Amino acid sequence: MARKLKKLSASQKQAIDAATNKVTTELSLSDRVLNGDLLRFYTPVGFKKVDKTKYNYNLKKAQANLKAAQRAGTSALAKNGGKSFDDDYVTDAPELSTSAKGASGSSSSGSSSNSSSSSSSK
């Protein structure tokens, strides 16, 4: 059980300040990479650049595109003969144990990596 420390020693305060500064710096750098699209400069051998115009993260547009793909028979669900991919999802994440996955259904086991097949099967 965690308990709140009422009086910190100078060394404890210094350790907390150092940890806070480190976390703040790491989060700031992460934000710069993501928001500044700094990964566009990362070009390892064999790297194929992603065409950002092919992707749209607007929910309504994504749902409309999914429905159109389902009608055209080009969705992942249609290509798999109408069978969901939920049972194929495998993870080694300890918080998603096999028993928890079965008890909670696809709502927690799918997370973001399985969201397209989950929404296409409903």
pLDDT in tens, 31-54: 888 888 777 777 788 888 778 788
Structurally, the chain folds into a number of domains equal to 1
If you average pLDDT over residues 55-68, what whole number do you get?
Answer: 86
Answer with the residue of higher pLDDT: 45 or 108.
45
113 domain-assigned: yes
Any alpha helices (H) in the chain, and if so which ranges? 10-35, 59-72, 76-79, 98-104, 106-109, 115-120
In angstroms, the CA 78 to CA 98 distance is: 27
Q: Which domain holds residue 62?
A: 58-120
Rounded to 5 degrees, φ, ψ at 15 are -65, -40
What percentage of the chain exceeds 90 in pLDDT? 16
15 domain residue, yes or no: no
Alpha carbon 110 to its chain centroid, in Å, reads 10
Query: What is the predicted pLDDT for the residue at 20?
Result: 95
Whole-structure pTM over 0.85, yes or no?
Answer: no
pLDDT of residue 99: 52
